[in-house]
């Protein structure tokens, strides 16, 4: 009999030949812009630590203090005996910050999106999602056995047509990213929310990349667009991006949160996040609220980068967020440019299928308030040399 899974090596080789092989590198250093890879210092433009909080001494101290008080781990799931005062306080702070009745912590954004779908959708219910949604939203709908339809990216008319055709009597959950993770553009939330209200569908926004960054107080994409809980009843965001920690939360009505506690399998059957992480996220949330200069600094850098990239004639799609993709097309070409940049001392990741659609490989530049203007200029100079002419 053949060795089980004997074709694994062949498949890996095929992936390599197609320029799609994924490789980890050991990146040493705090999440700050300067990191070490293979003993060499690189200036990184790839972290989602948009406000520079992952290495903020106050956040790090809160993590250390939390560990001293509560230990390294929570010991159990939230429903058994792992839900402590630090978790509870953070949930209350997040509810206040988002202006919602309640908030609920999850171990990760991936788990939160799977849990929301599992709790709200039954087999045969309808999940309508933007084509470019994060993989965890798609996976959630598939795992719940929902009928998944993907509408054209940021096309509220296409969504509206599909809503009008949805089977009467079936529940419909519409989900979109607030800021799209590979393109940096924002969902047209006002139009999407209006379409959902008109057709009796429930709207979920995954604001992983907007929370903390957008909106006057860092409330995210909803705050920027002036949309409340009536327009978007299900708000999900992560604590591992702008907040610089790890984990995620869902905020909404008390009814929604109770439903998740009862039925979200990724909430029930998993160990609660370490309480120290909740302490760190609380400290981070306070900084997000108290230090708007970080958002201002990020905007200054975004504008500087865009102006410089436009002057170089680089293919830069519209994006007002910290995510600034440079479209390349072919996967191997994106990898070559990333390698040239690395030779010049910069770390900018190439994003390839299936993370992005075929033929749309790109360099994904992410900016952070922790970058300086001089560092953005260095990136632009390196791009001028590394970009094929
Ligand atoms: C990062 C991300 C997630 C997953 O969050 P994790 O906490 O990293 O699991 C979900 N949705 C979007 C849009 C993301 O960018």
Q: Which domains does the chain have, with CATH numbers?
A: 22-51+292-386 (3.90.1150.10), 57-290 (3.40.640.10)
Lowest-confidence segment of 21-30, 223-232, 267-276, 293-302 by average pLDDT: 21-30
Residue 269 CA to residue 150 CA, distance in Å, equals 29
Nearest CA to ligand 1 atom 14: 208
**Ligand 1 mean position to 112 CA, how many Å?**
9
The answer to whether residues 41 and 35 touch, using CB atoms and an 8 Å cutoff, is: yes
Share of the chain above pLDDT 70, in %: 99
- pLDDT at 162 exceeding the cut of 70: yes
- Atom index in ligand 1 nearest the CA of residue 179 equals 13
Pocket lining for ligand 1, CB < 6 angstroms: 108-110, 113, 134, 136, 177, 181, 206, 208-209, 238, 240, 248
| Position in ligand 1 atom list of the atom nearest CA 240 | 7
| Best mutation site among 116, 138, 208 for ligand 1 pocket (most ligand atoms within 8 Å of CB) | 208
Closest residue CA from atom 6 of ligand 1 = 109
Q: What is the pTM of this model?
A: 0.95
Per-residue pLDDT, averaged over 298-321, amounts to: 96
Mean of pLDDT over the chain? 96
Ligand 1 pocket test: pick from 107, 238, 242, 364 the residue with the most ligand atoms within 8 Å of its Cβ: 238
**Cα–Cα distance measured from residue 321 to residue 213, given in angstroms and rounded to the nearest whole number:** 8
Choose among 246, 235, 252, 236: nearest CA to 281: 246
Look at residue 278 and give its three-state secondary structure.
helix
Supply 360's token pair. Answer: 């749309």
> C-alpha angle 115/120/126, rounded to 5°?
115
Query: Edge-to-edge strand order for the sheet containing 147-151?
Result: 102-106, 248-252, 234-238, 202-206, 172-177, 126-130, 147-151
Picking from 155, 259, 184, 95, the residue whose alpha carbon sits closest to that of residue 174 is 155
Burial class (CB in 10 A: 0-12, 13-18, 19+), 159: buried
pLDDT band, residue 30 (cuts 50/70/90) = low
- How far lies 284's CA from each of 49, 105, 217, 249, in Å? 11, 15, 13, 14
Q: At what angle do helices 293-311 and 373-386 cross, to 10 degrees?
A: 30
Tens-place pLDDT, residues 219-268: 999 999 999 999 999 999 999 999 999 999 999 999 999 999 999 999 99
Q: Could you tell me where the DSSP H helices lie in the chain?
A: 8-17, 57-70, 85-98, 109-120, 135-143, 156-165, 189-199, 221-225, 254-263, 265-268, 275-290, 293-311, 331-343, 373-386
Model confidence at 277: pLDDT above 80 = yes
241 is catalytic: yes
- Spatial distance between the Cα atoms of 190 and 36, rounded to a whole number of angstroms: 43
Residue 324, φ and ψ in degrees, nearest 5 = -125, 95
Give me ligand 1 centre to Cα 58, in Å: 24
Does the pLDDT at position 31 exceed 70? no
Neighbours of 319 (CB within 10 A): 18
Res 103: pLDDT: 98
Catalytic: which of 78, 83, 225, 241?
241
Across 161-190, average pLDDT: 95
Any catalytic annotation for residue 209? yes
DSSP codes of every residue in 160-183: HHHHHHSPTTS-EEEEEESB-TTT
Question: Phi/psi of residue 110, each to 5°?
Answer: -60, -45
Give the pLDDT of residue 28. Answer: 86
């Amino acid at each position: 009999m053949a060795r089980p899974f004997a074709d694994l090596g062949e498949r890996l080789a095929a992936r390599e030949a197609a320029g799609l092989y994924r490789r980890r590198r050991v990146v040493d250093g705090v999440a700050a812009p300067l990191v070490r890879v293979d003993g060499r210092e690189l200036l990184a433009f790839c972290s989602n630590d948009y406000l520079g909080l992952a290495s903020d001494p106050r956040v790090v101290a809160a993590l250390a203090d939390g560990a001293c008080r509560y230990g390294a781990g929570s010991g159990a799931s939230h429903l058994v005996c792992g839900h402590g005062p630090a978790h509870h306080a953070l949930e209350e702070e997040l509810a206040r910050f988002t202006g919602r009745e309640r908030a609920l912590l999850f171990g990760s954004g991936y788990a939160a999106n799977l849990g929301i779908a599992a709790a709200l959708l039954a087999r045969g219910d309808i999940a309508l999602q933007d084509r470019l949604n994060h993989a965890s939203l798609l996976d959630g709908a598939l795992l719940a056995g929902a009928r998944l339809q993907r509408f054209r990216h940021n096309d509220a008319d296409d969504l509206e047509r599909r809503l009008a055709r949805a089977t009467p009597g079936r529940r419909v959950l519409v989900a979109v990213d607030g800021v799209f993770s590979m393109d940096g553009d924002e969902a047209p939330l006002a139009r999407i929310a209006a379409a959902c209200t008109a057709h009796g569908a429930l709207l979920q926004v995954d604001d992983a990349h907007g929370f903390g960054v957008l909106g006057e107080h860092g409330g995210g994409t909803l705050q920027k667009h002036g949309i409340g809980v009536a327009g978007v009843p299900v708000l999900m965001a992560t604590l591992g991006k702008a907040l610089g920690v790890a984990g995620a939360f869902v905020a909404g009505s008390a009814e929604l949160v109770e439903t998740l506690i009862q039925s979200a399998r990724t909430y029930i059957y998993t160990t609660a996040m370490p309480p120290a992480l909740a302490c760190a996220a609380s400290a981070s949330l306070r900084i997000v609220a108290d230090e708007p200069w970080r958002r201002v600094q990020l905007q200054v850098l975004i504008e500087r980068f865009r102006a410089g990239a436009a002057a170089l004639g680089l293919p830069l799609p519209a994006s007002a967020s910290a995510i600034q993709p440079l479209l390349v097309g072919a996967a191997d070409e994106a990898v070559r440019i990333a390698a040239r940049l690395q030779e010049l001392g910069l770390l900018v990741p190439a994003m390839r299928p299936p993370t992005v659609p075929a033929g749309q490989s790109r360099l994904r530049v992410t900016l952070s308030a922790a970058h300086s203007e001089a560092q953005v200029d260095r990136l632009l100079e390196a791009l001028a040399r590394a970009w094929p002419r």
